[in-house]
A and B are shown apart, each in its own frame.
Chain A
Amino acid sequence: MSSYKLKKGYDLRIKGEAEATLETLPRPTQVALDGREFHGLRPKMMVKAGDKVKAGSPLFLQKGTENFYFTSPVSGTVKEVQRGARRVLQEVIVEADEKDEFEEFQTISSGDLLNTSREVILEQILKSGLFAQILARPFAIIADPAVEPRDIFVSAFLTAPLAPEINLILEGNEAAFQAGINALSKLTSGSVNLGIEGGRADLSEALKNPANAKVNQFNGAHPAGNVGIQIHHVAPINKDEVLWTLSSQAVISIGNLFLQGKVVSEKVIALTGESIDQRKHVKVITGAAIAEVAKGRVKADADLRYISGDVLSGRTVTGGFLGTTASQVTVIPEIEKMEFMGWALPGGEKESFSRTFPSFLSPNKKYSHNTGYHGGVRAFVQTGAYESVVPMDIYPVHLIKCIMAGDLEAMEGLGILEVAPEDFALCDFICVSKIEVQDLLRKGLDFFRKEGC
């Protein structure tokens, strides 16, 4: 086991952590698959409104592939296929049945997976829809099944604000997790790398001593739990290489697919954020309607933002559906009013990375946050702060400036192939000029993918 200590980074001191208890939520009446969640998706629809589907039945496929399906998490009837501007696929909504009927897949035991061919395993993962949960680096887009990855990286701990407890996710799923690792190990000629949190004695055994995976320990503040940061330190990605990354929940889903021969869409998420009452870890169906998940837990008359994921890089899903890949839901208040002389007053109740507020004197206190910018958008002033929250051998400011200038060669030289927007999410948070760093980085990645390869 290798160990890494990261000095840079920052843990947000935001209120709203979920208790370490697990509750099972009632079955949702509606679930949806949101096309916008999958970056790099070129969908071809396979169903229309009114069609009956089972859990694991394809809803659409990735154009240019034969069997890379995106499947329904539950059995029921397709209610609606929503498209947005330029016919971009938004939500495919499925009205859930009382009880699930499953598409049947081949059952393979954990041990047998190691003797099964790569083609068989890949084919089953593709058809089940679980391949959609695998992201490819560079670019952090949905993976191309035709390209074999150099290695596969799984981050088995989350450092994002209010992140869920990994042991609760693993509890009862240890066998499935190991089966998932076994399956993944057949997909690459390299290794399956598992990143775990260092210094934790109580960590699940399934994480500490898995077979067929290399384990790397990381100590440090956010974003140490981001898979991109872990890759950078363990085995950085070079030009013309491809890596696959996935979450520990996705590994469990893949394990269950082979052990049970069906797509199990139930997963553990943390209900977090100051605006939610009874913050717990809950078992819920992937893609459930957010209104049903948060029912009775929030103030009805408040203006709230529902986020699928964490407050730094999650997606706004107010009125919508939970994401497939997210393992937490965060609900925070929207900003409501302008603040009188807020920039000049001491501001005792305000968190800041910068120590220009007295909150730096109480490092353990938690603070409220809303969705305000807390200041005007200004010219890019390089305060040197970006460098202290990106634990990589990369110059974030220079990279962002090259993206602004559209300089492909410099972008590559400065390491654009190694990063994903989430890795720079803290830059978004701390920026005094209120530059949209993640947005710029995503545009840079898209530009590079189109023009630079």
Chain B
Amino acid sequence: MKFVEDQIHKVRPLFEKGGKFEKLYYLFEAGESFHLVTDKRTDRGAHVRDNIDLKRMMITVVLAMVPCILFGIYNTGFQHYTALLNDGQIDALPGMVDMIVYGAIMVVPVILTVYITGGIVEGIFAIIRKHEINEGFLVTGILIAMVVPASIPLWQVSLATIFGVFIGKECFGGTGMNILNPALTARAFLFFNFPSQISGDKVWVSFDKAQEVVATATPMGVAASGEALPEAYSTMNMFLGLIPGSIGETSVIACLIGAIILLIAGVASWRTMIGMLVGGFLFAWLISLGNNTNPNDLAALGAVKHLCMGGFAFGLVFMATDPVSSANTNVGKWIYGFGAGAMSMLFRIVNPAYPEGVMLAILLMNVFAPLIDHYVVKASIKRRLNRARV
């Protein structure tokens, strides 16, 4: 520890004003503050400060996502070998280790690609804007990796990350100023630019290039086509997450563990989460009431299945609760969450082209969040004015 500290202090003058690498100061700062928490003293305001900082907050979110990451790695392997088994290419499923190894080979490069590309974009902006590197990308990065299929080409991930960070965040002024969730922006970029790699039934299970691709639709895909869900897509399996889908978003149980961590830590808003849960449940249930002609129709699946399907749980726990792009007021969080849940179901069930709506619903509510806040705050102003007249 002391060695690292000494080395950092030794090279510091090179990056300070007048030093050889003055322009790269903020990159140095990022490295320094990663290893050493600042000894800067308070000089205004409160003399003592909470031990939490943005890094701590962000790493807590990443920590909450660990179950999703681990399960995503396992499930990637599991889906791969299950598909091979169904296709007759292998006789029996291999052991857990094989599945994890295969999953890791597919997933880790995606995560690395996101962090490296995003890190470069963040670094460039920090240097241009002359501010410290913001830790928000710790979370954005892992979020992007979790919402893409394991089979996605890395260059597409890279482009999406650049787009997500640039258009989703830096364009608006950087961390804290963004209107859209950068990770969802990245995913929307993939969805609109490379639809064949992020939708349809040929992308959710990853294969080695040499092998023939076997088509495996997600539960959502099956339901959208009006067929009955096969046994492999039982509610229990969907809850556990043993279904094809984006890397980190298939398991409701992993998302629940994440939600518990986030709620205990107080990092994510329970109002948003409950609002979205209620909105999603209510709409899925209401729609199912009016659609009992074809029991296999997406509209008739019922609320519980819908909540376990696709990216709903992941979106609810990790995407909608992004403190920056969601509503800021407490009342606003209820409305925002409810809207995101309701829209998710509407888009999912009514949209014939693409049987998933969580991403678009949250992005849409991101856009509305400032408006919701505006009216909530306006009501407070009105209260104050009314009081003055009395």
Contact = CB atoms under 8 A, between A and B. Distances in A.
Interface in B374-390: 377, 380-381, 383-385, 387-388
B235 interface: no
B5 interface: yes
Given A354-B265, A356-B265, A414-B380, A340 B51 contact: no
Contacts of A436: 44-45
A411 to B, nearest CB: 11
Contact of B176 (A332, A355, A380): A380
Contacts of A398: 328-329, 373, 377
Interface in A306-323: 307, 311-314, 316
Interface stretch (A61-69, A99-107, A342-350): A342-350
Interface stretch (B29-37, B84-92, B240-248): B29-37
Given A341-B35, A413-B381, A433 B54 contact: yes
B137 to A, nearest CB: 12
B380 A353 contact: no
A354 B37 contact: no
Interface stretch (A77-85, A207-215, A285-293, A366-374): A366-374
Nearest to A338: B36
Interface string A123-154: 00000000000000000000000000000000
B200 interface: no
Given A380-B176, A429-B48, A374 B323 contact: no
Interface string B327-346: 01110010000000000000
Given A356-B60, A356-B265, A381 B54 contact: yes
A373 B52 contact: no
B40 A340 contact: no
Contacts, number: 218
Contacts of A17: none
A350 B330 contact: no
A438 interface: yes
A111 interface: no
A450 interface: no
Contacts of A426: 46
Contacts of B135: 378
B384 A340 contact: no
A415 B384 contact: yes
Given A340-B1, A378-B175, A379-B134, A311 B46 contact: yes
B272 to A, nearest CB: 9
Contacts of A384: 269, 323, 328, 330, 333
A353 B42 CA distance: 18
B52 A354 contact: yes
A397 interface: yes
A425 B50 contact: no
Contacts of A19: none
Given A429-B50, A432-B54, A395 B329 contact: yes
Contact of A339 (B29, B36, B176, B383): B36
A312 B49 CA distance: 9
A381 B50 contact: no
A382 B328 CA distance: 7
* Interface residue range, chain B: 35 or more
Contact of A414 (B38, B175, B267, B381): B381
B136 interface: yes
Contact of B38 (A305, A372, A381): A372
A348 B326 CA distance: 31
A162 B53 CA distance: 24
Nearest to A386: B328
Given A338-B39, A384-B269, A343 B48 contact: no
Contacts of B328: 382, 384, 395, 397-398
B20 interface: no
Nearest to B373: A398
B264 A374 contact: no
A374 B35 contact: no
Nearest to B4: A340
A382 B369 CA distance: 13
Contacts of B329: 387, 395, 398
Contact of A373 (B36, B42, B175, B373): B42
B324 A375 contact: no
B174 A379 contact: yes
B10 interface: no
A357 interface: yes
B384 A355 contact: no
A429 B53 CA distance: 11
A151 B177 CA distance: 42
Nearest to A395: B377
Interface string B73-86: 00000000000000
A379 B176 contact: yes
A340 B29 CA distance: 14
Contacts of A120: none
Contacts of A354: 50, 52, 56-57, 265-267
A51 interface: no
Interface in B289-347: 323-324, 328-330, 333
Contacts of B49: 372-375, 428-429, 431, 434
A407 to B, nearest CB: 12
A108 to B, nearest CB: 37
B51 A357 contact: yes
A437 interface: yes
Contacts of B50: 351-354, 374, 429-432
Interface in A398-453: 398, 410, 413-415, 421, 425-426, 428-434, 436-439
Interface string B93-106: 00000000000000
Contacts of B43: 316
Nearest to B390: A238
A374 B45 contact: no
A355 B33 CA distance: 22
Given A393-B383, A398-B377, A342 B388 contact: no
B47 interface: yes
B59 interface: yes
Interface of A: 12, 14, 236, 238-239, 305, 307, 311-314, 316, 330, 332, 334-344, 347, 350-357, 369-385, 387, 393-395, 397-398, 410, 413-415, 421, 425-426, 428-434, 436-439
Interface of B: 1, 4-5, 29, 33, 35-57, 59-60, 131-132, 134-136, 174-177, 264-267, 269, 323-324, 328-330, 333, 373, 377, 380-381, 383-385, 387-388
10 contacts: A339-B37, A343-B56, A371-B42, A373-B49, A379-B134, A398-B329, A413-B380, A428-B46, A432-B56, A438-B46
Given A384-B269, A413-B381, 16 more contacts: A12-B48, A313-B46, A334-B41, A347-B51, A353-B52, A357-B56, A372-B38, A374-B49, A374-B50, A374-B53, A375-B52, A375-B53, A414-B381, A415-B380, A421-B45, A434-B53
